[in-house]
Structure 1
């Protein structure tokens, strides 16, 4: 009866020192109704006592009084034998007549069946008691056995639910850890702080897909390629996970290492294509990219831009019109010759150059899957007016999230370069009249 494994199962059941519960009271009450006894118990026995998880017929004693010593309870015989105990006359039955509760509790007749833990250990008993000797008929005994199995079934169900809750908690913890790792890895592939070219506003925003638990392939960078030139790169690796992260890291650091040797954006992307092919990147993890090399002049920037299967960069002109910077080129990592071409651009005061990944235009509403689309993006950029670069990427990012109701299917990356508008000096809002000829 005092086997350590059994006692451990009793404690693991979570029934000791707990208050009454309807499910156990209902089963004990049903046993009382079926047998016509005066009292019914659902008990569990640890190493020292019999605790009454349910007691029907003795009022409603407090939890601390719902117990007696293990040796004083007839239930300990059920536990010891792991089998039923049927007593018709307790005073004359040699098995129980010397147990103190027979006299103290006025037991005349007693019948009980064991209840079990999911592992098979006997935990206690479902029993009924009468104050006078009596016979228990076969229907009553059979029903009592069935109700004892029902008590064991309830305990097993709780054990399963408890294990499931533990597993769910473990899964949530693992998911949280995976999300944290994914965020850390993704952030390591992006510049922690975007470099600010002198006299130019630069801002970027990255929005991970879903809950950010998977590393995807969007990346961007902005850095000095030489004392007089700057390089901006944005890319999107197909696929996800560690393999996509490897391609992203290779792309970003290849461009950083190579851009200082070239003044051509075409050449930068061609070298990146060569590196991807040399690394034998898997066919399902290809790269689209857009790269620009530019100089900062006295009033703005001029540069050259190349696109490799990536959405076109957009210029918002001072008059509010939006222009696509188109250039031909296939995605990288497929063919030795990606067919790259380039286009020149100029950015003057008040104008904006916007780079984005296809997660922007392909974001869709959950209800009808209507895309955010290029036209919507153009209108939004056209309406940005005098917003600075940070406010522009913030407004566009929030509009995309609102469109897809915060659940984007793909990562979203935005990067904006803006030449600040020239403001007239205070008191000089109007031109001075020309000096007359003399």
Structure 2
């Protein structure tokens, strides 16, 4: 027979060893895997409709035919669900470039009369259609075998062709799902890396103060989700004995929101040493946002504070942000801050510095609207 690409040294089709085809076979993820209902059912359907005794879903690599499904053959262990490729008719499909291979009488057909499996495997008639990937590479075969010769009816062959396409589609859908999951995971990893870069790896230690932060998306997203949020926070030393805490929320999500969030965080850090007024610092941030022409606004709360003999004193300003909360040591809770203009929209913003004092045991809470929305 004339095979596409000629023959290998062992006399089998050279197409069996094509690297692209072998990679496609491996990519199915089906080699050396156990029986699965969907493939067994399709093989059983083919055997029943055609009245043949045996039916196979076979993956063919360069050395063997692996039976992903086999009906009419007592093969339970994986080692028993395969045979050398030279002892299988499946190599004809590979060598013919994906054409079906139909034999009515294997013992007398000149293409198969000397095939080593005709006698030992009691092959009377054989009908097989290729399993292919979207690029047309032959992955294996969907075939039926009878013990005695027979003339295959056109309706039977049309059914086999349809079932073979169904098996190919099932394999392709599985590969698409696997690829999509892998791509989503890569995107998720990238997004979480970017998100982590927007937040301090650990909070700055402030003498005499206990500080903690929690970043938990209010929508309870799974790790595999890929959106990057626009929230940011920081706690850092400004100058002398003074420190600052900032928390902001950029509108929207995604890479652009992350870029604005990063710019806002580092702008605040850069300007913090030049002013002790939270309102003035947020005003500077507003100017920086407008200069960037980001089309993104943000809300923020900024507080500057320092230690005192009686605890901690500071000043806070809100820019379109929800009031901070102070929980006194005695258990009472009170809001802190005067509502101000959000940033990144207007040239002139109205922001107010509000002083506060924390005594030992008091707690100051800054949060974004994700908490109140949840």
Fold match (TM-score > 0.5): yes
CA distance in 1, matches of 2:250, 2:358: 28
* Distance change >3 Å, CA 120–CA 361, structure 1 → 2: closer
Contact 1:217 1:245 in 2 (8 A): yes
Contact 1:50 1:73 in 2 (8 A): no
1:323 aligned residue (328, 334, 338): 334
Aligned to 1:291: 302
Residue 172 of structure 2 is aligned to residue 160 of structure 1? yes
Q: Secondary structure at the match of 1:204?
A: coil
Count of residue pairs the alignment pairs up: 342
CA distance in 2, matches of 1:127, 1:167: 35
Contact 1:304 1:342 in 2 (8 A): yes
CA distance in 2, matches of 1:226, 1:304: 15
Aligned to 1:219: 232
Aligned to 1:117: 131
Q: Which moved more, 1:256-265 or 1:208-217?
A: 208-217
CA drift of 1:145 comes to 1.4
CA drift of 1:331 comes to 0.5
2:202 aligned residue (185, 193, 198): 193
CA drift of 1:43 comes to 8.4
CA distance in 2, matches of 1:299, 1:165: 62
CA distance in 2, matches of 1:69, 1:229: 77
CA distance in 2, matches of 1:48, 1:197: 68
Residue 365 of structure 2 is aligned to residue 334 of structure 1? no
* Distance change >3 Å, CA 340–CA 6, structure 1 → 2: same
CA drift of 1:286 comes to 0.8
CA drift of 1:330 comes to 0.3
CA distance in 1, matches of 2:198, 2:211: 21
Residue 214 of structure 2 is aligned to residue 205 of structure 1? yes
Contact 2:250 2:299 in 1 (8 A): yes
Aligned to 1:3: 13
* Distance change >3 Å, CA 6–CA 306, structure 1 → 2: same
Q: Which moved more, 1:291-300 or 1:140-149?
A: 140-149
Q: Secondary structure at the match of 1:156?
A: helix
Q: Secondary structure at the match of 1:197?
A: coil
CA drift of 1:338 comes to 0.5
CA distance in 2, matches of 1:352, 1:18: 58
Contact 2:321 2:339 in 1 (8 A): no
Q: Which moved more, 1:222-231 or 1:9-18?
A: 9-18
Q: Secondary structure at the match of 2:213?
A: strand
Where relative contact order (Cα < 8 A, 6+ residues apart) is larger, the structure is: 1
TM-score (normalised: structure 1): 0.63
Aligned to 1:306: 317
Q: Secondary structure at the match of 1:303?
A: strand
CA distance in 1, matches of 2:241, 2:93: 93
Aligned to 2:160: 148
Aligned to 1:258: 271
Q: Secondary structure at the match of 2:146?
A: strand
What are the residue-to-residue correspondences of 1:44-193 with 2, within 5 Å?
Answer: 54=70, 56=72, 64=80, 70=86, 82-87=100-105, 110-118=124-132, 119=136, 121=138, 125-130=143-148, 136=151, 141-187=153-199, 190=200, 192-193=201-202
* Distance change >3 Å, CA 102–CA 268, structure 1 → 2: closer
Aligned to 2:364: 353
Contact 1:115 1:126 in 2 (8 A): no
Give 1 or 2 for the bigger CA radius of gyration: 1
1:327-368 CA deviation, whole Å, 9 max, x = no partner? Answer: 1420112222211122222222332222221111111xxxxx
Aligned to 1:28: 47
1:178-214 CA deviation, whole Å, 9 max, x = no partner? Answer: 3442343233xx3x33223332333222224523633
2:253 aligned residue (240, 244, 261): 240
Contact 1:79 1:114 in 2 (8 A): no
Q: Which runs of 5+ in 1 are unaligned?
A: 34-38, 364-438
CA distance in 2, matches of 1:195, 1:77: 68
1:44-71 CA deviation, whole Å, 9 max, x = no partner? Answer: 6877888887464x87798659768858
CA distance in 2, matches of 1:61, 1:251: 63
* Distance change >3 Å, CA 265–CA 5, structure 1 → 2: same
* Distance change >3 Å, CA 49–CA 217, structure 1 → 2: closer
CA drift of 1:149 comes to 1.7
